[in-house]
Structure 1
């Protein structure tokens, strides 16, 4: 039987069938995703490294279990020219997703602007990951339209992309100052957990990234205590 959170996610997914909000499964597994990394103008990538450290520390504490992994949805303009954060994310066993060039509402772009930015971000991420596959795109502010879907289809046909649009089964509040507190983020997230859920947290500023890193200490521990596996979007959606 679905809980209320599952029912809400299912209702939204039926209204927006072109996006992925969660996976229907009875297995205790969730996908962990981080948006907006690295932090804007964070030349040392300090905020993203805090999140990576929080996950790595958790994995050491639960070394007898499969390590927790995340999908980082990257805004390509946030990357400093000499940044090594993408190889570091990949080296830690995590996955890279496309979150566009600029932290903005992509649905407000013209079709030409959107296609150009999607391609620019995609090619940059491919370069930095050593041409590893980039499979997932998440639109800015979680909004999309049919013209964006057509642009994705155009690039798939012309450039051999294989992108799918992924959102999440929870509405994030961690980018708002009034809700930017680790305890509140962890408490809220606990109510959003169900088998197949896609969780989303943010790293758009150093303050928000610090909140995410601290909140993850509690969230990941809680998931383990409830016997959940914590995986990337690919691991969640590829598993039958």
Structure 2
């Protein structure tokens, strides 16, 4: 038997290692027919409809999630950074250059913002110095106030996922990709015009990134199943304005 020179052996081993790195790190093929689904959860081999169903089931069963990115709704862009669970959520929303915090525990919704927010609500200044009193406080949002319906959905895991995790049109797969170091399979609606969704190929097939149809925002989903504290604010930090906020 002819001996293989040590140099060739080392080159072969190096090429194999580089190929494995490429396939594992990026999901790309091309290294002697490397399988991009090797070592994954297997959803990458499924039809797009089943990938979407598996992803949605995983999202529904997860107790918590962190959602961040942009959402365009009714002509207004909202920058979200929310942590959500079944009984509430907390985080921040930025719209038209103003950032405010939201906290919902059970059915009680609180809005926390600075003086600028309250003075700019509906483009009107809040009278009587009320804006200063609300600065940095958790303001109880009455359920009958228009702000409750407008903002509570940002703190509701089920409502948000129902509205967001939907692709429109004919579904198809669009190759293997990567999100924050995690291998994904991408599915599209109508070749991307109906939105795109990246689903994890590692562990549970959670949705990791969504580009909404029509340029209506891009969102990332992280911290699936990681619990976080959610509690009512201290009374000293809370303002209750009764049935209606001073500026909705």
TM range (shorter): under 0.3
From the two aligned structures, give the one with the greater helix fraction: 1
* TM-score normalized by the length of structure 1: 0.24
TM-score by length of 2: 0.24
Please say which structure displays the higher CA radius of gyration.
2
Structure with the larger RCO, 1 or 2 (CA within 8 Å, 6+ apart): 1
